DNA sequence: CCAGCGATCCGCCACG
DNA sequence: GCCGTGGCGGATCGCT
């Protein structure tokens, strides 16, 4: 039984911040957190001397690509060298990891490395808004969603800008260990556990020009996430945004990368998970609060996307927080695969 | 498991 | 012609 292994891939000249984000979240052991923490290795094609930001800093990278081969999660932070394509040996290692079933994540323009490795083909992905257009042009098989903080495609995750790496990293911790642990990490880093008040994944990012905060879609999103109990048909949502249903669907997809229905379901499930983890409310009540018509539909949709029942889910997390890292590996690796589509 | 039915999603096209 | 909008219809989804 061993800890979840995280390999952070560095190009020959790397960018400090994104690497620091990965190290801060996955590499720092926090005594108050009582689950077995990640085992982080920084690696590169040729281990040894490397630089950060040109001549700003020299560093020694201890591991080679074998760290990728041994990892459960591979993180590709910003590659900083936009001109030169990634090393073919690194791409091959990433491909191997992918076929092996490892989880891959990129921050910022690290998405280009994943795209070059081919693991984004046919998937949704995001990158820094500055590069979104180029990513889509160079890799037409990648469905680029430029306006989200991050995209979770299950085994392949991509974060948009620099700081949204924090959001994605916390999201992964949440998937692995639950909202409670993610919150502890966030608290220790003094960042909000979830941008936009506890809602998930498809929050709009700070994209420069579309920055009208009073945009109809955003208003509808904000309203619904604060009034999650209650049902919303497509027509209702369109009314909240003062738009026709057709236009609303269109604007919605642009702003969030998903469809209204899927977004709503995802919001409801995320909230339900939090309630399961943090409260003793009966399933019936949670179903009501999170806007599922009945406990039956709640259980059904929950099982459909998380592959467990609400009660099992709750029990798994309760077990985790009470048992001090005993037999955590099995449960956490099971939970690791839980994800919302 | 299948049928039936309404809701949703999205391509296509017309309008201003 | 361009762009944003919204109506229509068909494929598909998800519920009963």
- CB-contacted nucleotides of strand C (7 Å): 5-8, 15-16
Confidence category of residue A271, pLDDT binned at 50, 70, 90: confident
CB-based burial label for A271 (10 Å; 0-12, 13-18, 19+)? buried
Got the DSSP string for A93-105?
A: HHHHHHHHT-EEE
CB-based burial label for A235 (10 Å; 0-12, 13-18, 19+)? exposed
Rounded, the Å distance between the CA of A200 and C1' of C9 is 34
Nucleotide nearest to A244 (CA to C1'): C6
Asked if strand B comes closer than 7 Å to A246 Cβ, the answer is yes
Q: Are strands A48-52 and A73-76 parallel, antiparallel or unpaired?
A: unpaired
Q: Which of the given ranges, A45-54, A208-217, A264-273, has the highest pLDDT on average?
A: A45-54
Query: Average of pLDDT values for A228-247?
Result: 85
Asked if strand B comes closer than 7 Å to A189 Cβ, the answer is no
Asked if strand B comes closer than 7 Å to A233 Cβ, the answer is yes
Rounded, the Å distance between the CA of A80 and C1' of C8 is 48
Query: Average of pLDDT values for A303-308?
Result: 77
- How far is Cα A185 from Cα A57, in angstroms, rounded to an integer? 28
- CB-contacted nucleotides of strand B (7 Å): 7-12
Helical segments of chain A, H only: 16-22, 66-69, 88-100, 110-117, 129-138, 164-177, 179-189, 216-226, 234-240, 245-256, 260-278, 283-289, 295-306, 310-322, 328-336
Which pLDDT score, from 0 to 100, does residue A42 have? 96
Rounded, the Å distance between the CA of A339 and C1' of B16 is 45
Range from A3-7, A145-149, A170-174, A299-303 carrying the lowest mean pLDDT: A145-149
Asked if strand B comes closer than 7 Å to A260 Cβ, the answer is yes
User: Is the pLDDT score of A286 beyond 90?
Assistant: no
User: Is the pLDDT score of A87 beyond 70?
Assistant: yes
């Amino acid at each position: 039984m061993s800890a979840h292994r995280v390999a952070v891939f560095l190009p020959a000249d790397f960018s400090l911040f994104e690497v620091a984000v990965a190290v801060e979240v996955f590499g720092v052991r926090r005594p108050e957190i009582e689950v077995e923490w990640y085992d982080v290795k920084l690696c590169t094609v040729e281990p040894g001397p490397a630089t950060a930001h040109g001549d700003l800093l020299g560093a020694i990278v201890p591991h080679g690509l074998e760290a990728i081969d041994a990892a459960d999660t591979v993180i590709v932070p910003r590659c900083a060298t936009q001109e030169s394509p990634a090393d073919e040996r690194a791409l091959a290692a990433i491909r191997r990891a992918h076929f092996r079933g490892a989880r891959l994540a990129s921050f910022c323009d690290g998405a280009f490395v994943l795209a070059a490795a081919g693991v984004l083909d046919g998937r949704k992905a995001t990158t820094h808004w500055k590069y979104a257009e180029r990513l889509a042009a160079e890799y037409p098989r990648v469905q680029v969603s430029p306006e989200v903080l991050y995209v979770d495609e299950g085994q392949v995750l991509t974060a948009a800008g620099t700081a949204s790496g924090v959001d994605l990293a916390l999201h992964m911790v949440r998937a692995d260990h639950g909202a409670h642990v993610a919150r502890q990490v966030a608290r220790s880093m003094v960042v909000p556990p979830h941008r936009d008040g506890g809602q998930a994944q498809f929050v709009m990012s700070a994209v420069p020009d579309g920055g009208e905060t009073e945009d109809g879609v955003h208003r509808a999103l904000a309203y619904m996430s604060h009034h999650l109990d209650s049902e919303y048909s497509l027509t209702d949502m369109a009314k909240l945004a003062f738009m026709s249903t057709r236009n609303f669907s269109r604007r919605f997809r642009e702003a969030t990368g998903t469809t209204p229905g899927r977004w709503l379901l995802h919001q409801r499930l995320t909230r339900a998970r939090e309630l399961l983890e943090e409260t003793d409310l009966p399933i019936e009540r949670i179903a009501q609060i999170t806007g599922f018509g009945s406990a039956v539909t709640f259980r059904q949709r929950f099982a459909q996307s998380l592959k467990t029942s609400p009660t099992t889910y709750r029990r798994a997390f309760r077990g985790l927080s009470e048992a001090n890292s005993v037999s955590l590996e099995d449960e956490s690796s099971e939970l690791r695969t839980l994800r919302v589509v």
